[in-house]
Each structure stands twice: as structure tokens, then as C-alpha cells.
Structure 1
Amino acid sequence: MTMNGPEECPSSRPAADGLDAAVALFHSLSDGTRLAITLRLADGEARVADLVGELGLAQSTVSAHVACLRDCGLVVGRPEGRQVYYSLARPELLELLASAETLLAATGRAVALCPNYGTDSGPGRVAQVAEVPGE
């Protein structure tokens, strides 16, 4: 995925109250590339070049997503010579990711089956969800 402008980064939107800030937080993690970067950084710091190699994405794409996460205050950079090593800014983010994994395990495929945001969402998906046994 490529980012075409600041409108795709939630940090560019003003947060009027606590709910808006929470929306921006979850929106910043809702992009698959940003979530993959965040999960990778949960294992330790990395340079953009490392993320490019591990995620198989273009350098410009990774840089834009890292910048978005940095602008949101979720990622910090530590310069070392000409390199910048990125890491998660707050340990609470690890707790949030762990809680998300626990919630996903507890709900099974319920979120994946969501007709709006699920992994199989698309035309005709609502009818298929209605046919799931036990639902």
C-alpha cells in the first residue's frame, strides 16, 4: 500500500476530545502495513532498511508508514550515525497488542467474519455470515 498524502495518516486530524484521540489511535493501527510495522517493532528496534527487507515493501512505503506512526507518538527514532533505529514509544502499546490478541482468541473468528471490516468482507458477505452455524 502506498500513502498518497497526509489525509491517510490519522495524526493529521485534530483531536477535539478523548474519543477523537482514541479513534485516531485505533485508526493508526488499522492499516495492515502500520500494524505489521508495530508488531515487528514489538520484537525490538529496527531500521527502515530492516523493515523493507522483512516486510517486502518499497522503502518509500515503509518510510511513510513509519513517519505516520512517529507522528502519532507510537514510534520513536534513535539516530546512530547515518542510520535511525525505530522502536515503540510506549510500553503500553505492547499491552494493547497483547490485549488485542487475547480478545481475538476469545472471540474466535467473529471479527474476521464482520461484514464491514472482516477479512472476507465484500459483496454477498452478509448473507454468508447469516449462514454460520451457531450464530
Structure 2
Amino acid sequence: MRAASTADIEPAVALFRSLGDPARLAIARRLASGEARVAELTRDLGLAQSTVSAHVACLRDCGLVVGRMEGRRVYYSLARPELLDLLTAAETLLAATGSVVALCPTYGVDGQDSAC
């Protein structure tokens, strides 16, 4: 197996960065259960409308979320079913590893690495 070059892994890094923000991950997880409008995401997640709109736009720009117009309303959903598979796999991995990831001194809940 050949070693991965930086160019080989850059798309995966971008994918995980796009999901690395708590608000964007919460939006993706919510959309995994079905489409929603920004107003519904705002209510369900307890976030400001401007925050939800900005993060939905980011996820849309990354190709992870799509919008469907119905009259003047836009309903957002996951763009690819594989994203649901990724979120499910992440939850399975987290369940298997327990609190090890959350306790990681660099990337865990209390980690100081602001670049993540």
C-alpha cells in the first residue's frame, strides 16, 4: 500500500473540517432525520437564525446539503446518503471507544487546539 500524499488526503481533511464545527455537525445530524427549513433548524437546535443560515450555506457550498424550493420556502436535506452512513459510523466508533476521544488532551472536549 502506498503512503498517502498530502494532496491525496486534502479532500478528506476538508470534509472533516466542514463537519468539525459543532453547529454544522448538529445541522447535519438533524438533517439525517429528514429535511428541514432554516426556521425548523433554528427551533430544533436552539441556535440563532443567522447562525443556522450561515452554517447551512457552508454545508451547501461543500456539497453536503441541498435545498429544495417549495413556493418561497427552502427545505434542506443531506445531499448524499453516504453522509448519513458517515455519521452513523462515527456514532458507532464513539460508542465503541467510550470517552477516549472526548478526553484527548489535544482534540477532546477540553482540548486547547483552536485550529480544529
Identify the TM-score tier after normalising by the shorter chain.
Answer: 0.7 to 0.9
Instruction: Say which SS state the counterpart of residue 18 (structure 1) adopts.
Output: helix
Please, what TM-score do these two structures have when normalized by structure 1?
0.76
Q: Which consecutive unaligned segments of at least 5 residues does structure 1 have?
A: 1-15, 123-135
| Corresponding residue for residue 95 of structure 2 | 105
Identify if the C-alpha distance between structure 1 residues 67 and 105 changes in structure 2 by more than 3 Å, giving closer, same or farther: same
Show CA shifts across 1:42-100 (max 9, x none): 00000001011111111111000000000000000000011000000000001101110
| Corresponding residue for residue 48 of structure 1 | 38
Structure 1 residue 84 corresponds to structure 2 residue 94: no
Q: Which consecutive unaligned segments of at least 5 residues does structure 2 have?
A: 1-5
Comparing 77-86 with 53-62, greater Cα deviation is found at 53-62
Structure 1 residue 19 corresponds to structure 2 residue 24: no
Show CA shifts across 1:8-61 (max 9, x none): xxxxxxxx8331110000000000000000000000000001011111111111
Instruction: Say which SS state the counterpart of residue 103 (structure 2) adopts.
Output: coil
Q: How many residues align?
A: 107
| Corresponding residue for residue 33 of structure 1 | 23
Q: Following superposition, which runs of at least 4 residues in structure 1 exceed 4 angstroms of deviation?
A: none
In 2, Cα distance between equivalents of 1:96 and 1:53? 25
Instruction: Say which SS state the counterpart of residue 100 (structure 2) adopts.
Output: coil
Instruction: Say which SS state the counterpart of residue 54 (structure 1) adopts.
Output: helix
In 1, Cα distance between equivalents of 2:95 and 2:49? 33
